[in-house]
Structure 1
Amino acid sequence: MKNIIYSEMMVHVPMCTSKMAKDLLIISNNPEKLSAEASRHAQATFKVSSCNLEDISSHGDKSYDVIISEMPCDELLLAQINRIIRDDGQFVTTHESLENIEANKSLIKKISRFFKVVMPYNLGDCSTALFASKEYHPTADIILQRADMLDGLSYYNCDIHPAAFAMGNYIRKEYLGVIKN
């Protein structure tokens, strides 16, 4: 069940926040489950890239509405993502546990150089991901109809989506001034 929850949350949160989630890029060495979830969005076409910078840099400028990455983020990767994501695009990435405060603050600051909104969210399996957006806010701009029209889901729904962004006070205090929402 853990892999199902993870895949649903990694894909549907950004896809149901994007106004026109049409072009999706999945950066992963094991993309099968993420690709299966992405295929639930009939309007979307998606490509899969392996976790190497050379493969990612071969994509055209402003080609994607949503990018989902399981690759560790560094300055070079973020620069490439910034180049290939559209001006209103969403980016989701895995990261270390929120308990690793200094590493995550550093990562959030790096991502914040390219995105207006950067927020951690619960994946529903005791882990978190980072959501970043050039334009849209994940709780204010959720496309409810798209979230409710997805069939066959085990975990994700329009109520789980905004609830995933709720964080305890100790997290909020530690990341105050770093998270952009």
Structure 2
Amino acid sequence: MWVTKSYDDKFQQEYKIERKLLEIKGAKHTLELFNSQAFDEIALLDGGLLLKNLLCVQSEFLAHLSACSHKNPKRVLIAGGFNLELAFEFLRHSALQVDFLQFDLKVLESLISFLPHYKEVMDTERFQLIPQLSEEFLAQNAQEYRVKYDIILLLESNVNANSYAKLLNDDGILIVRTPQILLDVQKVRMQLESLEDFAIKMPFFAPLSVLQDCYIFASKLYHPTADIQLQRADMLEGLEYYHANLHLSAFVLPKAVKSALFGAAKN
């Protein structure tokens, strides 16, 4: 049997599975969990995938790339998605408070055996699960919302990134998921152009990721390669994926892509 991940109807990847372990329908999302010889387990979430033995790729990469690009991050918001390992990686930075925005708790709780550090994260004082903050709330109350963040990760598509950006501090960093850059470079350009009030806007990708996830790094102050905190990046222990050289290589794009994004990307 095979499970399929599609990319905007342009191409798809198939992953061999052995059997389905469970299926859960939450308030908005549907989770299917499969056993896989190659990846241990595969979580299929509305077409998106999490691969159990490669969770480190997304979680280490996004957490440490953003945290090591900021001089002194204190508070992080992870909005959307179910990869609680992101919070675990952020919590390696001793000063960070991590807020995890996800209201579909039925689905999140069903991943307790899939996510290796689920209980450890939930029991950490510097972690907070936020179940009810909506995009409508952000649009209407961003100016009055008292909490400000140094880093915000937006892991779902079709959200208003500028609404969340209003929750950033003046030196804040916003990470946004994008379409696959090689296939949809014009969509990525439009996404870059839609981001307001950022001095730096740079597309990047996770090197050697089988899921081919791509993102935008948007910052009001910090540059992800010029301002990388090398001592902090090199001091991290027990990692499987992230390191300083990989951080720097994530922003190296093909020449044709750089030309197509010229003027929209800011570096």
Indicate the SS of the match to 1:129: strand
- Two-structure CA RMSD over aligned residues (Å): 1.9
Paired letter, 1:29: G
Distance 1:19 1:96, change over 3 A: same
Deviation at 1:172, TM superposition (A): 1.0
Kept after mapping to 1: 8 A contact 2:76/2:99: yes
Specify the SS of the correspondent of 1:120: strand
* In structure 1, distance between residues paired with 2:249 and 2:150: 23
Question: Which of 49, 64, 83 is the matching residue for 2:166?
Answer: 83
Partner in structure 2 of residue 70 of structure 1: 155
**Is 1:48 the equivalent of 2:100?**
yes
Alpha-carbon distance between aligned partners in 1 of 2:161 and 2:213, rounded to the nearest angstrom: 22
Question: C-alpha deviations, 1:115-172, integer Å up to 9, x for none?
Answer: 1111111212133211110001100000111111111111111111111111111211
Decide which of 243, 248, 251 is 1:157's aligned counterpart: 243
Structure number with the bigger relative contact order (C-alpha 8 A, sep ≥ 6) is 1
Structure 2, unmatched stretches of 5+, are 1-52, 104-133
Q: Moved runs in structure 1, 4+ residues, more than 3 A? A: 54-59
Match of 1:121 in 2: 204
Higher Cα radius of gyration: 2
Q: Within 5 Å, which residues of 2 pair with 1:7-156?
A: 7-50=59-102, 52-54=134-136, 56=138, 60-61=145-146, 63-74=148-159, 77-98=160-181, 99-111=183-195, 113-124=196-207, 125=209, 126-156=212-242
Tell me the TM-score normalised to structure 2 length.
0.62
Distance apart, 1:27 and its partner CA? 0.4
Q: Deviation string for 1:5-60 (max 9, x for gaps)?
A: 11111111111011111100000230412111111111101101127414656773
Alignment length (residue pairs): 178
2:244 is paired with a residue whose SS is coil
Question: 2:80 touches 2:102 (CA, 8 Å); kept in 1?
Answer: yes
Cα separation, 1, equivalents of 2:199 and 2:262: 16
The structure in which a higher percent of residues are helix is: 1
Q: What is the letter of the counterpart of residue 151 of structure 1?
A: E
Aligned counterparts of 2:238 and 2:247: Cα–Cα separation in 1: 16
Matched-pair contact (CA < 8 Å) for 2:153–2:174:
yes
Identity over aligned residues, as a percent? Answer: 28
- Is the deviation greater in 50-59 or in 143-152? 50-59
> Secondary structure of the equivalent of 1:135?
coil
Partner secondary structure for residue 263 of structure 2 = coil
